[in-house]
Amino acid sequence: MSSEDAKTPPVPPMRANKLNEQAAASDELKPLSLRRNISYAFVGNVVYAICQWAVLIVLAKVGTPDTVGVYVLALAVCTPVFMFGSLELRTILGTDARRAFPFSEYLRLRLLAIAAAGVVSVSLAALMGYRDPILAAVALLAAVKGLEWISDVIYGLFQRQERLDRAGLSVTMHGVCNLASISIVMALTGSLLWALAAYFCSQLLVMLAYDVPNAVRIAHPAHKETRNTASSYLIPLVGVGAGRDSSLMSLAWLGLPLAATSLFISLTTSTPRFFVAHYRSLYELGILGPIAGLVFTGAVFARAVNGAVSPRLARYYTESKHRAFKRLFFCAGGLYALLGGTAALAAAFWGDKILRVLFQPEYGQYADLLVVIMLAMTCAMLAGLVHTTMISIRRIPILLPLTAATWLWTTFLCWLLVPRFGLRGAAGAMALARLPYIVVGLWLLAQTFEPQGASAFPGSAAQATSSLTAAPPMRRAG
């Protein structure tokens, strides 16, 4: 021991503990303001949505409507299965204000579900009688979806920390890299399957280079000194050797109603595509897919905003700040209605020119579809807001019958309209599908805040005070 070390007075144990706590706190990412979270989420998810829609544009420009039809049909097969396997863990994690489960258990459960969903997707495609290239496209998209859902649960961790700048940058990198890889490979080879293989590689690269290291920093800030090895990233996240099967079962049981709910939501989107493929052709599905992709674009944007506001909604409800809760809810809903109405007007005036420029000349004759699709996008965004709000206040069990009824209603509309009116019937079914969900969901939210049956959205200050005092406390997750 040197003379300097001998002269250094020892640090008292209580003082040392306090210094360690301060060091860990300084390394932890601090939450951002709601405005900044919405800004980062908005920019990132809009870029991602544009890139995903641009993938359809590239396939339509370089390939044929049949190529687009294969891609859209493979998505229609994989997406419902993976939505069910997601167990809505991102939403549960993002609104888990009480830290009921560690992040490692969310991730471990997600990995198990991804493996099962991949097997089920390929098996389902084979049972439905699909052969190459559809079956191969389903297998490749299942692999891509697996990586996407790993990043998705990491975004839930960013959301709970209220650091959506990390999620915004991640989805931006994913979107740009995926679009670039698909465009280059599709232009060089003309093969959809090779393009999907490049999609997988770009998704894996961004996940390992950015998503996983940032997740470690938030979930395990104490591991910063050992971040130079792969094991230092993966072992803390997955929690190898830690956690109990009973905890995973509890988390899975919590997410099971949401899993069925997500399944029916995804089937509501996929069902019109199945009907078009069955009653019409892959060619017409390839026409509908890029135009209907705008619904996905709006849904991604809405998910960005909902992801930013849902932790604040959950906290407002827990703290009985119901006036602020309603104000935030209506601000988000008004934003969706304004954007959707503006898009529908633009489609009515310039729809044919937009479709001819974006895709091929033959798409221009379906300009009337674009107006109806814009209305469908607006309804999808509003329904997503109602859905997220119900989860934030833990009214989870009621979502299952609501979404099941919505899917049955959509199936009936498709059965009624698609055989008779073709693509226009499918677009009409998409526009009408979510209206009952929105109406019933708003009524249920009104009953949550006003058990006596009065209006949930009072016009006077006295009624507002009454609604705040009458609202029940938030239920504990699980």
pLDDT, tens only, 397-437: 788 898 899 999 999 999 999 999 999 999 999 989 999 99
Average pLDDT of the residues in 191-195: 94
Domain membership of residue 10 (yes or no) is no
* Assigned token pair, 44: 């990132």
pLDDT confidence of residue 234: 54
Residue 176 CB burial class (10 angstroms; 0-12, 13-18, ≥19): middle
Cα dihedral 283/284/285/287 (nearest 10): 100
Amino acid at 176: V
* Assigned token pair, 338: 């304004």
Q: Cis peptide leading into 272, omega within 30 of 0?
A: no
Determine contact, residues 192/133, Cβ cutoff 8 Å.
yes
Amino acid at 419: P
Domain membership of residue 336 (yes or no) is yes
Domain membership of residue 61 (yes or no) is yes
Determine contact, residues 129/274, Cβ cutoff 8 Å.
no
pLDDT, tens only, 86-97: 888 888 888 777
Determine contact, residues 178/51, Cβ cutoff 8 Å.
yes
∠ CA 253-409-66 to the nearest 5 degrees? 95
Does the pLDDT at position 228 exceed 80?
Answer: no
φ and ψ at residue 444, rounded to 5 degrees = -65, -40
CA pair distance 373, 384, nearest whole angstrom: 16
Distances (CA, A) of 200 to 144, 179, 293: 5, 11, 20
Q: Tokens 């969900």: give the residue.
A: 437
* Assigned token pair, 334: 């008004």
Structural domain of 336: 31-218+225-470
Give the model's confidence band at 202: pLDDT under 50 very low, under 70 low, under 90 confident, else very high: very high
Domain membership of residue 389 (yes or no) is yes
SS3 state at 393: coil
pLDDT, tens only, 24-80: 444 456 777 777 887 887 788 788 888 988 898 899 888 888 899 999 999 999 999
CA pair distance 95, 84, nearest whole angstrom: 19
Structurally, how many domains does the chain consist of? 1
pLDDT confidence of residue 12: 52
Largest CA distance in the chain: 93
Domain membership of residue 6 (yes or no) is no
Looking at beta carbons, which pairs linking 251-257 to residues 24 or more positions away fall under 8 Å? Answer: 251/87, 251/89, 251/92, 251/101, 251/105, 251/106, 251/109, 251/478, 252/87, 252/109, 253/478, 254/92, 254/477, 254/478, 255/87, 255/88, 255/89, 255/92, 255/109, 256/87, 257/396, 257/397, 257/399, 257/400
Domain membership of residue 251 (yes or no) is yes
Q: What is the model's pTM?
A: 0.75
Domain membership of residue 66 (yes or no) is yes
For residue 113, the tally of other CB atoms under 10 A from its CB is 22
Sign of CA dihedral 166, 43, 317, 296: negative
Give the model's confidence band at 16: pLDDT under 50 very low, under 70 low, under 90 confident, else very high: very low
Domain membership of residue 2 (yes or no) is no
**Cα–chain center distance at 323:** 27
* Assigned token pair, 302: 């809405």
